[in-house]
Copies of this chain bind each other. A is one copy, B any other.
Amino acid sequence: MKETAINSIRYLFEPGSIAVIGASKDPAKIGHSIVRNILAGGYRGKVYPVNKSGGEILGLRVYGDISEISGTVDAASIAIPAKFAVEAVRSCAKKGVKHAQIITSGFSETGNIGEEKEILSIAREANMRILGPNIFGLYSSSSSLNATFSASKIVPGRVAILTQSGALGVAMIGKTAINNIGLSAIVSLGNKADLDESDLLEYLIGHEETRVVLMYIEGVKNGERLLETLRRTTEKKPVVVIKSGRSKRGAMAAASHTGSLAGSDAIFDAVMKQCGVLRAENITEAFNWCKFLAFSPKPGAGRAVIVTNGGGIGVMATDACEKYGIDLFDDQAELKRIFEPATPSFGSTKNPIDITGGATSADYRLALTAPSESAGLASTIALYCETATFDSENLAPMIQETYKKHMAAGKPITYAIVGGESVEKAIEILKKDNIPVHGDVYEAVSSLASIYRHKKYLDEKDTRIDEAELDIKLIDKIIEGAINEKRNFLLSNEGSRVMEAMGIGVPKSRTARTMDEAVKYAMEIGYPVVLKIVSRDILHKSDAGGIALNLDRDGEVAEAFEAIMHNARSYKPDAKIDGIEVCEMVRPGVEIIIGARRDPSFGPVVMCGLGGIYVEIMKDITFRELPVNRDIALAMLKEIRSYALLLGARGGAKKDIEGVVDTLIRVGTAITRCSRITDIEINPITVYDQGKGIRAVDARVMISNMKGEKQ
């Protein structure tokens, strides 16, 4: 089944023949540009212009209708007004076209959903796939096919771009050319009526020419499939993503622009990281990373070294390494051994290595050859400030030579060279060789960091799944009860019972109907206790005087029972009172939050963070797509700043981290297995000292009557 899908998608990138429906003699028309670009691009398959006016275009016979073509037609590019598009799709289906690219706009993006649906249903019936509508087309280096209407010349190379924005896509083609970023493919996704990022990634995973994939995304429809596909892709090659709509206002603007649900940016960010995808903030950053990733080897074990002729930019690069997470080599004695021959006495062999402003190209050659030959050093950050003493005609050759040595040794190197004309000239020359030279220190370091992040992901990748044993039958029964009462949430005591069924510790508690019962239960639970009114008619218990804290004697419990009953009756005389809950008084501990929800794009996700009143304020939380395992759960804890509290900040004892990990696994299992749970939020969970466990103090569970697909 999957094999067929890949075969099928191959026809999109490598069709043996392509029809251009709406081919035009008028050079100003899109239908003309496409034919012209296909021919100019050197496409080796057959090209069939189709237009009912017939005749010839650029020396090719124009067919009045696709049905008139005698051979098979693998792909069709449709560039006719929207009102004729449905008919064209129908004729393509009839002809047995495998892939129709619908350039035409004016469908769902302008509210015309009906015709888009019709197109899709025609295609489905004929087993034909649709790219678009509302796209600029597609370029594929493997078949030298430039079926775009925008760019007459595309340089083939190693980077594949998938873009949801047409305008930005066209602009990016131009920008890749200027930046000497060769393309293996660029595909405009448009409205994604049928084919989406996942379908195209299936082809790119095995596409040898593609070394890096760059995606521009505005909204995700089938997120779970995308993540699954991305996981397989990043295993083979790095993927960089730009997603606009990071900010609140940006997300609103994105929603109004694409009509797509932007979703939570924090979750997008987390799941992309989880799939090993590198998220860039802007185009410049994304291009820098892609260029670097396309040509640099993965670093081996070992750390990075900075070589500079200026102390100031050395310090800057050190700052940038910390920002982007590059570890610097630290063994002073080893550094001295390696770099002393290249460093004058008033320089420094500490990392950054400062070969001083007097350094010439020969000094640089020496200093930058050393790391390529030294086992402990895995990568190099080379910095150069233009100086009056440097033999600038040798700048580019020195970089070419030291770059080659690094490549031969399988070590990445990134250069930042700062200065005027001579530097600018060197950058021009070196860019043509795809050598990573940057005019800015931060850019250079950020590029190197991209390959480290991909390596780290692959090194640490761990697909093992941990699940917990839950009493699913009991959970289902509790949910059933709430659904029968037409509720989409569980009451507080139901929430506690679900926690127990999930094997998560809750404060001991029993609901007393009489004063005597309350005293009896309090003794059983152990003092001190808390009393709380139980009534679905009283939501704000405190306002109703329905809570009494810190009761530590029988007499206090009896008094409090009477008082709460009295308060509740005066607060809301007609309230149905189920009783009074007698609870264990929770001792203080570290308060965290653990939750899970079904993300509309990406499916079930789990989260944890600093709990209590700090959740919204500190936003010290982290997400993961499910399933996870214990190591990933622990990694989540290590990501939040408040992890220090669990380790025992300010001299406190280490907390029960194992208990928190266990709870994360249980919550993850619950939302995965119980398809009617839409949301679990336990806040706070009080965490005690190591071995002393946790208490889920307050658990909110949201439910839905709809059975999810998974069970």
Contacts and interface: CB of A to CB of B under 8 A. Distances in A.
Nearest to A357: B167
A144 B311 CA distance: 30
A564 B53 CA distance: 104
Given A250-B319, A617-B644, A170 B385 contact: yes
A410 B657 CA distance: 60
B618 A641 contact: yes
B316 A174 contact: no
A424 to B, nearest CB: 5
A312 B257 contact: yes
A441 B386 CA distance: 29
A249 B322 contact: yes
A440 B218 contact: no
A442 interface: yes
A346 B110 contact: yes
A607 to B, nearest CB: 18
Interface in A522-546: none
A138 B283 CA distance: 38
A634 B514 CA distance: 51
Contact of A420 (B174, B257, B650): B174
A652 B620 CA distance: 21
B167 A309 contact: yes
A164 B312 contact: yes
Contact of A387 (B110, B170, B357): B170
B175 A418 contact: yes
Contacts of A313: 165, 167-168, 171, 244
A248 interface: yes
- Number of contact residues on A: which range applies? 35 or more
A418 B617 contact: no
Nearest to A540: B651
Nearest to A173: B420
A495 B215 CA distance: 59
Contacts of A613: 645, 649-650, 652
Interface in A298-351: 309-316, 318-323, 328, 346, 348, 350
Contacts of A385: 167-168, 170-171
Contacts of A151: 420
Contacts of A178: 420-421, 423-424
A149 interface: yes
A687 to B, nearest CB: 13
Nearest to A352: B253
A394 interface: no
A483 interface: no
A243 B284 CA distance: 24
Contact of A253 (B174, B177, B318): B318
Interface string A399-437: 000000000000000000011111110000000000000
Interface in A217-273: 218, 244-250, 253-254, 256-258
A280 to B, nearest CB: 11
Contacts of A309: 167
A150 interface: yes
Nearest to A615: B650
A489 interface: no
Contact of A315 (B218, B348, B616): B218
B246 A311 contact: no
Interface string A367-399: 000000000000000000111100000000000
A679 interface: no
A178 to B, nearest CB: 5
A106 B344 CA distance: 13
A218 B419 CA distance: 20
B216 A167 contact: no
B167 A420 contact: no
A443 interface: yes
A366 interface: no
Nearest to A440: B284
Contact of A177 (B282, B421, B617): B421
Nearest to A105: B346
A316 B620 CA distance: 25
A281 interface: yes
A642 interface: yes
Contacts of A110: 346
Contact of A245 (B258, B315, B650): B315
B250 A316 contact: yes
A33 interface: yes
B250 A310 contact: no
A638 B262 CA distance: 30
Contacts of A33: 388
A282 B442 contact: yes
Interface string A597-639: 0000000000000000110111110000000000000000000
B149 A388 contact: yes
A387 B172 CA distance: 10
Contacts of A641: 617-619
Nearest to A350: B256
A247 B171 contact: no
Chain A to chain B: the 5 pairs with minimum beta-carbon distance, closest first: A174-B420, A167-B310, A165-B312, A247-B322, A257-B311
14 contacts: A165-B311, A166-B310, A167-B385, A173-B420, A174-B422, A244-B312, A244-B318, A245-B319, A250-B316, A284-B439, A613-B645, A613-B650, A613-B652, A616-B649
